[in-house]
Amino acid sequence: MLNNSYIKLSFLFIFNLYIFSDDIYFPSKSWDEVPPSEFSIGEDKVDRLIDIAFKDDSTQGVVIIKNGKIIGEKYADGYNFSSHGTSWSMAKSYYAALIGISLDKGEINSLDDKVATYLEYFNDERSDITLRDLLDMSSGLDFPSHEHEKMFFQTDHLAYAKTVGVEKDAGQKFEYNNINSMLLGDILFQVTGKKADVLFEDRILKPLEISDYKLWKDEDGNVLTYCCVDMSARDYSKLGLLFARDGVWNGEEILSKKFIDETFQLVWDSTPERFTRLRRGYSLHWWVSAYEENFKIFNTSGKFGQYTFVDRKNDIVVTRITKYNQQDSGDVQMWGPMKYLRWAGVENAINIGRVLIENGAIKSGSDVITPFTDSEGESKEFNDLYGDFIGAIEDLSCDCYSDEAFN
């Protein structure tokens, strides 16, 4: 009779043989494009997914990927597969992945370590907050109605983040707080001596052969780890595919399966309504849009309707981005004359800024340099159709359809 150790070793060998098999396709600088029928998926199902997205005029592009290959793709007039979108808060998931890599490398000991272990200025009323609390959006840090989006209009975002105090006990309540994410960059710098953009490039983007991007920083050079990565819909999809493939890329482990397994759990099974009425959960800087026994969808999410959806079990990745005017003026935020709108309130600052730019009073890319989504790129109908979109993703893998994302 075989002993348990032999059985475990055999299982691990078979598992690794599968994960690192040459038969698993990974895109390089280009992608294989195949008809959905290659994977026994009806073309009508792919068309339905695209049609739902383009019922909203803000949609710039949609990419649908099965087993690493593009089975559906469409762009609005004036855009193509190389056009940049901007991520807004999708970036939170990317920089959280760097925390996972530091954990894998032993630079961080545990997600349950106190943040004060890495940031001296947390040795105060914030001393009980853990890394996990930051990543699960349950730090208990002060949470105003603007969710600290006012930080976006500062010249030094990290200085702003450092001053935010405690409002409630850590680990008790989900609150989508941008400060939690901005602090990740400082933690990464303390444990590696490198800024988060350099780590992102070296540890993720280069192995994935992503070379056309912007990683935004503030005027003081702090990486905006809570937002603002510019790249194409295809390249956003590569980041989703990395998670769908258990952190492995072309035989190289970029991020451990253990960390992804922990990420793709349901920590908060219900979150306050944000943009959509569909019930959603949250875990380690990823949203959970479906969590059924045979169908789980985790996704990155941006403020104006940018998403990458990952169906890990079925190796499906779907990215939808909204219209964005790609800038050629660098990746360092400069507010110029708009700095006076800093304390006008987030919505006022956004609306006034849009009017000034659209009327030509201020030129985006010269007078003001920042990621910018005008009203044409802000989702409206898509928010109402979000549940239909999730159902259409599910329909790619089965003949079922569920109106409820959670049991």
Q: Is 373 helix (H, G, I), strand (E, B) or coil?
A: coil
Cα atoms found within 13 Å of the Cα of residue 84, Cβ hemisphere only: 20
The identity of residue 320, as a single letter, is R
Residue with tokens 């809570």: 226
Three-class secondary structure of residue 358 per DSSP:
helix
The Cα 267–Cα 60 span in angstroms is: 32
Instruction: Compute the 3-state secondary structure of the chain and give helix, strand, coil in percent, each to the nearest 5.
Output: 35, 15, 45
Contact partners, residue 247, CB within 8 Å, separation at least 6: 253, 254, 255, 256, 257, 259, 260
**Token pair for residue 95?**
């920089």
**How many residues make up the chain in this entry?**
407
3-state secondary structure of 348: helix
Q: What is the pLDDT along the chain (407 residues), one digit of tens a residue?
A: 445 544 444 444 444 444 444 579 999 999 999 999 999 999 999 999 999 999 999 999 999 999 999 999 999 999 999 999 999 999 999 999 999 999 999 999 999 999 999 999 999 999 999 999 999 999 999 999 888 988 999 999 999 999 999 999 999 999 999 999 999 999 999 999 999 999 999 999 999 999 999 999 999 999 999 999 999 999 999 999 999 999 999 999 999 999 999 999 999 998 988 778 888 999 999 999 999 988 999 999 999 999 999 999 999 999 999 999 877 788 999 988 777 666 666 677 777 777 887 788 877 777 889 998 999 999 999 999 999 999 999 999 865 444 444 44
Alpha carbon distance 269, 340 (integer Å): 40
The domain locations on the chain are 41-328+374-395
pTM score: 0.91
CATH code of the region 41-328+374-395: 3.40.710.10
